[in-house]
Chain A
Amino acid sequence: ARPAGRMARAEPPAAAFERRVLRSAAEHHYLRVRLELPDGGARPSVAQFKQLVVSALRELHGEVGAALPVDVLTYEEKTLSAILRVVSSGLVKLWSALTLLGFYQNRRCAFRVLQVKPCGAGWLPPNVSSRSKVVW
């Protein structure tokens, strides 16, 4: 039995935020990339951009790499930046293929991977969510 003189313990104040940790691995990973083409030549269209990504995968990882499901969710031709979506198991393959790409149609280029996220929400604009429609 509790001694009579003891005061009832004060309740801790209610938490101001709640933290949720999702243990299951994300299905897709999203990469924000930018293609750098310093020579002032023609900029690739979205179809050519997708073809460039697939050919980079094919050069490094062969036909199996080229068959990796990669989607271009957004594409800005002016800045040559895009948001790509890939299955999480293929993230390392896609990222390494983009890193080691050096030429686009015999023009020197470089891919800069700006952001990699496992979830589709929370981007700085241009916004994209996991339910975004595929552009190409």
Chain B
Amino acid sequence: TYYVFTFLVGYSAVALNHVIDFKEKKQEIIKPVSPSELFPSLPIVQGTSKRIKVLTRLTLVVSDPSHCNLLRSTSANIRLYDIIAVFPKTEKLFHIACTTLDVDLVCINVTEKLPFYFRRPPVNMAIDRGIYFELLYTPAIKDSTMRRYTISNAISLMQICKGKNIVISSAAERPLELRGPYDVANLGLLFGLSESEAKAAVSTNCRATMLHGETRKSACGVVYTVKKPRKVEEEETTLPACKKAKTEA
């Protein structure tokens, strides 16, 4: 009944998250559970006649550069997930995730003080590549220390990225930890976003992440043709006009 609750609160798409932490040994990426197996019939979104979309999502907690090899290798199971998120634990990994890794979301830690400062170059590169930064709000509901870390980490992120490419999501494990979309957009205002950016963080940016995941799943390579410029035949070397005048004179 958990997902039924999300539709009561007002969402139209839900992603089920599967977290893989590489610190623990023997982590294998298993096939995602197909939503149709879990929920035989999905409820209809409030106000429309479409059904809720249930997506599958994989979060990789990386604390070592060797963990990223999994993403680079074309593992069959990884491709089955709709959205791939990476949770970098060090500054180097954050840089790698923003610039080279093929992911849709970069998770920002909200449960402890950031071990590194955000810098503009990787963040801007991530924005250009269409990668979104994700903030969680459920830890803020559970504990007051987490609340401080959430808000302070969010504010430092906002200073660098200026409110672009932000997604606010819940890591809710219980129906009671979910909040409605407008409530979450209001939290965005608290983090320092403008009104339109806060609303986009709950709606437009999430949809863009979904589409980014779809394009990542479908495109493997691009082939395009380029017209080769014709080789200009070399004419007799003629002196430029100014030099000509000097020699003549």
Q: Mark B80-122, 1 if CB is under 8 A from A, else 0.
A: 0000000000000000000000000000000000000000000
Given contacts A92-B189, A96-B187, A100-B187, contact A112 B147 (CB under 8 A): no
Q: Is the CB of A95 within 8 A of B186?
A: yes
Contact in complex: A96, B190 (CB < 8 Å) = yes
* B70: interface (CB < 8 Å): no
Set of chain B residues within 8 Å of A60, measured between Cβ atoms: 147
A95 touches B176 (CB 8 A): no
Residues of A within 8 Å of B174, CB to CB, are: 108
In the bound assembly, the distance between CA atoms of A36 and B177 in angstroms comes to 11
Give A25 Cβ to nearest chain B Cβ, in Å. 14
Distance (Å) between the CB of B113 and the closest chain A CB?
19
Tally chain A residues at the interface, Cβ within 8 Å.
18
Q: Taking the complex as formed, is B58 at the interface, i.e. its CB lies under 8 A from any CB of chain A?
A: no
Bound Cα distance A112, B144 (Å): 20
Partner of B180, one of A38, A92, A101, A112: A112
- Among B140, B142, B176, B179, point to the contact of A38 (Cβ < 8 A): B176
- The complex places the Cα of A92 from the Cα of B183 at a distance, in Å, of 10
- By a CB distance below 8 angstroms, the chain A residues around B140 are 100
- Whether A100 lies near B189 (C-beta < 8 A) is no
List, in ascending order, chain B residues with CB within 8 A of A99's CB: 179, 183-184, 186-187
- Residues of B contacting A102 with CB < 8 Å? 141-142, 177
Chain A 67-79 near chain B by CB (<8 Å), digits 1 or 0: 0000000000000
| Per-position 1/0 for B125-142, Cβ under 8 A of A | 000000000000100111
Contact string, B160-197, partner A, CB cutoff 8 A, digits 1/0? 00000000000000101111101110110110000000
Contacts of A128 in B (CB 8 A): none
Residues of B within 8 A of A (CB): 9, 137, 140-142, 144, 147, 174, 176-180, 182-184, 186-187, 189-190
Which residues of A come within 8 Å of B, CB atoms? 36, 38, 59-60, 92, 95-96, 98-102, 108-110, 112-113, 116
